[in-house]
Amino acid sequence: MAVAAITDNYAGERLDRVENFHGNQVIYIGWDYHLMFCAPVAFAISPDTPFDRLLEELIPGAYSQHPEFERIDWDSVQWILNGEAFTPELDASLAAQGIDHKSILRFNTPGLGGIQGSGS
């Protein structure tokens, strides 16, 4: 719908266009059923970043304080990209596998139910 406005054809400036991030794009990462981290986390990184850098740096940096983090079996992790099941290619860049600006990448770790199984 158009905005009801006093000027015709009202259009707003898109504040978070990818061009505004100095060569980076924003991605969000969420670890399902681990609400000790209250919300998904946000990163501004290059679209050329290979996926395995997420596994080696970004995800441990964000989540390693969780007592279950060490126990994650990364081979059995289920990935969800923008609501769809997703199989990452570790060597390929984010851009090359469709992880675009403001994408949400979730991971689910079967068997790990959070602190005392509370989803935390």
Partner 1 sequence: MSPKKLSLKEKYSLLTRDLEWEYSYRDYKEIFPQEEFEGIKITDWSKWEDPFRLTMDAYWKYQAEKEKKLYAIFDAFAQNNGQLNVADARYVNAVKLFLTGVSPLEYQAYSGFAQVGRQFGGVGARVACQMQSLDELRHVQTQIHAMSHYNKFFDGLSEFNHMHDRVWYLSVPKSFFDDARSAGPFEYMVAIGFSFEYVLTNLLFVPFMSGAAYNGDMATVTFGFSAQSDEARHMTLGLEIIKFLLEQHPDNVPIVQRWINKWFWRGTRVLTLVAMMMDYMLPNRVMSWKEAFEVYFEEAGGALFKDLARYGIEMPVYAETAIAEKEHLSHQAWSIFYNYTHAAAFHTWMPNEREMDWLSEKYPNTFDRYYRARFEHWREMERAGERFYNPTLPMLCQTCQIPMGFTEMDNPTLIAYRQSVFQGERYNFCSDGCKDIFDHEPQKYVQSWLPVHQIFQGNCGGAEMEDVLAGYYRMNLGTDNLDFHGSPDEQRWNHWHNLQTAAEQMKKAS
Give yes or no for residue 1 binding partner 1 (CB under 8 A). Answer: yes
Of these, 23, 67, 98, 110, which contacts partner 1 (CB under 8 A)?
A: 67
Q: What is the DSSP string of 66-100?
A: STTGGG--TTSPEEEETTEEE---SSSBTGGGT--
Of these, 49, 51, 54, 62, which contacts partner 1 (CB under 8 A)?
A: 62
Of 17 and 111, which CB lies nearer to partner 1 in the complex structure?
A: 17
CB distance 13 to 98 below 8 Å: no
Of these, 47, 53, 79, 82, which contacts partner 1 (CB under 8 A)?
A: 82
Q: Which residues contact 78 (CB under 8 A, 6 or more apart)?
A: 85, 107, 108, 110
CA 71 to chain centre: 21
Q: Which two tokens stand for residue 28?
A: 């969000």
Stretch that binds partner 1, among 29-37, 49-57, 70-78, 87-95 (CB under 8 A): 29-37
Give yes or no for residue 106 binding partner 1 (CB under 8 A). Answer: yes
Of these, 12, 70, 85, 87, which contacts partner 1 (CB under 8 A)?
A: 12
- C-beta atoms surrounding 107 within 10 Å: 21
Q: Contact positions toward partner 1, by CB under 8 A?
A: 1-6, 10-18, 20-22, 24, 26, 28, 30, 32-33, 35-44, 61-62, 65, 67, 82-83, 100-104, 106, 114-120
